[in-house]
Every structure is written in C-alpha cells, then in structure tokens.
Structure 1
Amino acid sequence: MTDESHALAIEGVRFFGEMSASISHEIKNVLAIINENAGLLQDMVLLTEKGMPLSPERLSGLAQSVARQVARGDRIIKGMNRFAHSADYPTEAVDVGELIHFISNLAARLIAMKGETPQIEVPATPVTAVTNRFFLGNLVWACLRRTIDACAPDQRVSMVAEKIENAARIRFCGLAVDFLVTGAGFPSPREALVARFLGAQLTADGEKGEIGLILTNP
C-alpha cells in the first residue's frame, strides 16, 4: 500500500466515524424521548391504580409521540444503511444533486450545531457523474463544512449542482469574500487527497465567495 493509499484509507475511516457518531447521537435522542414517554405512561398506570381516571387525550398524545419517534428512528436507520452501502462499489453513476441532498440530511445534526441550514439547488434534469459515491460524499461534506464555517454574516449557505460541458459541478456559495485570505488554506491536504482520488478539480472564487467541485465524466 502506498503512502497516499494509506492516507486515503485513514480519511475514509475518519469520515465514516464522524458520520456514524453523529447518527448514533440522533438515535440516542430518539430512544431518550421514547423512554420519557414510557415513563409518563407508567405514571398514568400508577394513577389509574389509585382510582384516578385515565385521560384518553393524554394517552393518545403519548401514542402519537412514540409513533413520531419510531418514524424518525426509521428514517435515521435507513439513512445510515444507505450511507454504509455507499462504499459498495469503486465507481458508479451518481446523481450529484441527489447526493448533496443526502449528505445534507445525513449530517443534519452537525449542520444544526453550526447554526446553518444550506439551501440546495438542482436542475430538473439529473446531473450525473461516474465516480466513487462514498468519497464524493466525503468531499461534499468537507466543502459544505468549510462553507458553513466561513459563511458571510449577510449570506446564506447554498449548494448548487449543475452540468457544465462534459462535467458535473457543485458550487458551495455564501462564503465571506475574503475567505481565501483569512480562512484555512483551500484545499486542505485532506481535501486535495480525496479530490486526486476522484479525479476531481477543486476551485475557489474569493470575489464571488464560493468554492467549486468539478467532476469530469470519462
């Protein structure tokens, strides 16, 4: 294994661990709410044993709350399962617009912690690229996180998927115009490593306050 292959493997494990840790926190929150509702239900049972009437409305509310959390947990698990299977194939046709939606949802907790909700724009016709789905997700998250961290106070973070000639491009918009001067160097060694593996090009436009990820179709 070459040094670069070793570094790429480490980066893949790091990304998988970061997403898995975030997802496990979300699952734990779901279980905590269900457990809280179970405690309330037990309290209601104890009250009925003491002769107090059972409130159908309150019981229905608890049932609905549990059902909502079960549905939420199901969505989280499905997302985690899909993320795990993103590493199944070395290359495949990837709908770039759909992938940026998926990564935004997958990292929703991490994004919420940073206080930003990205706006996503995709064309009516799918933009596809033949690439490695897992590491493209890695690079999309790295660029999105960087954009959120360097977002201008008067701007909103957005991701735009578009087709350009024989390539697919994702633009990450909303950075402060001086981010190339004041922020960490772009691309970072880790970002550059993944981009090289994907055969992708990373661009930066300080005047427009955006960075780009270009995937050329073979």
Structure 2
Amino acid sequence: MKDDSRAMAIEGARFFGEISASISHEIKNVLAIINENAGLLQDMVMMIEKGMPLSPERLSVLARSLTRQVNRGDRIVKDMNRFAHSADHSSESVDIGEVIQFICLLAARLIAMKGEPPRIEVPATPITADTNRFFLEDLVWTCLCRAMDARAPDQNICIVAEKAGNAPQIRFCGLAEDFLAREAGLPSPRETMVAGLLGVDLKTDSDKGEIVLIFP
C-alpha cells in the first residue's frame, strides 16, 4: 500500500505539472501580446507628444485588443483554478461528460499540437459516477493521448460518454486497428495504475478501434 501511495503521488504530481506547464505557456502568450500592445501604446504617446496626428480608430483597435487578451487571460486563470480544485475531494459525484469536455478545453493547446481536436458526444442527461475527479481527468487525458497517437488515417477521434446497461462508460473511437493490435496500443502502466485506483475497467478493442473505460 505504501508503494502504491507513493506511485499515485508521483503520478498526480506528473499530471498536474504537465497540464500546469501548458496553461502557464498560454498565460505567457497572453502577457507577451499585452506587452506588445503596451509598446504600441507608448509609440502612440510619442507621436502625440511630437504633434503628429493620431486616428481615434487606432486607439480603439488597440483598446479592443487589450480587452480581448485580458478576457482570455481571465478565462485561462479561471480554468486553472477549477483544475486545481479537482483535487479537493477523494471521491464525489462526477458528471463524466463534463470531465471530458473540461479536459479537452484545458489541454486544447496540447491537443492542437497532435492534430484535430476530438469530437465529443455526451447525452443531454448527465451520466454521473462516484469517483476521484482529479484522477479521472488524468485517465481521460492519458487515454486521449494514446487515442490521438493511434488515430486511423482520415478519421477524427470521437469521445463518447454513455451507459452500457447500468454502467457508465467512455469510449475513445476512431483508432487504427493495426495500432491497437501492436504492443504500443496496449494500456500504459500509467493508465493501468490510475484505472486501478478508480476501479475502472480499461479495455482495448482492436476490432472496433476503440479504448473503453467502464465504471463500476
């Protein structure tokens, strides 16, 4: 148990660091754009001081740009705060579809580096499970990474939240069958460990080209 606790602590820190690094990169991009706009504003001040004409429209465009970046930065920080609070409870009732959508939003930059964002299919009525939100986010992210690496040619990844009987499940669809049949397509030790913590059955269906998470 002691070794398991240590392994989970390391995994949690790795996942938090991976996502936080991506978020901080986005914040730096926002600050860089704001800094660039501040430089333009200073140039405009110098123009006015020299008696040069300045169109009000140029100031208006600059003001709108600054507002957009402030709003973008505020949204990023709110998402980061929400992510940090994912670790507040060891177990809670979690909307599975909401977790999928949040992780895809939170990791949008990392997803874009791998290709097209996944299509998400969630039912109108939320599907819930009593689980650890933080490690479920971790498991969804690691499975999505493997799914994107195994993307079938000319197909987009689709993440489906649904019920099979009474059991909630998540399916990652659109994977290349030959990839899943190889060793690289098997669940990683990281996925297996987190799935075990959550009590989730993690399966790979090479015939359908899917990764499936089945909740108890």
**Correspondence for 2:137:** 137
Displacement of 1:182 after TM fit?
Answer: 3.5
**Correspondence for 1:151:** 151
Whether 2:64 is the aligned partner of 1:70: answer: no
SS in 1 for 2:215: strand
- Taking structure 2 as the reference length, what is the TM-score of the superposition? 0.97
Matches within 5 A, 1:1-218: 2-182=2-182, 184-216=184-216
Q: Give the counterpart letter for 2:60 in structure 1.
A: S
SS in 1 for 2:87: coil
Displacement of 1:70 after TM fit?
Answer: 0.7
Q: Provide the C-alpha distance between the structure 2 equivalents of 1:176 and 1:151, rounded to a whole number of angstroms.
A: 6
Name the stretch that deviates more: 92-101 or 113-122.
113-122
Q: Give the counterpart letter for 2:23 in structure 1.
A: I
SS in 1 for 2:176: coil
Displacement of 1:54 after TM fit?
Answer: 1.5
Identity of matched residues, % = 71
Q: 2:146·2:185 contact (CA, 8 Å) conserved in 1?
A: no
Q: Give the counterpart letter for 2:101 in structure 1.
A: H
SS in 1 for 2:159: strand
RMSD: 1.1
Q: Deviations over 1:3-58 (max 9, x none)?
A: 12211110000000000000000000000011111111111111111111121111
Q: Provide the C-alpha distance between the structure 1 equivalents of 2:4 and 2:109, rounded to a whole number of angstroms.
A: 31
Q: Whose helix fraction is larger, Structure 1's or Structure 2's?
A: 2
Task: List gaps (5 residues or longer) in structure 1.
Answer: none
Q: Provide the C-alpha distance between the structure 2 equivalents of 1:59 and 1:195, rounded to a whole number of angstroms.
A: 53
Q: Give the counterpart letter for 1:78 in structure 2.
A: K
Q: Provide the C-alpha distance between the structure 1 equivalents of 2:156 and 2:138, rounded to a whole number of angstroms.
A: 22
- Taking structure 1 as the reference length, what is the TM-score of the superposition? 0.96
Q: 2:174·2:209 contact (CA, 8 Å) conserved in 1?
A: yes
Task: List gaps (5 residues or longer) in structure 2.
Answer: none
Q: Provide the C-alpha distance between the structure 2 equivalents of 1:73 and 1:162, rounded to a whole number of angstroms.
A: 33
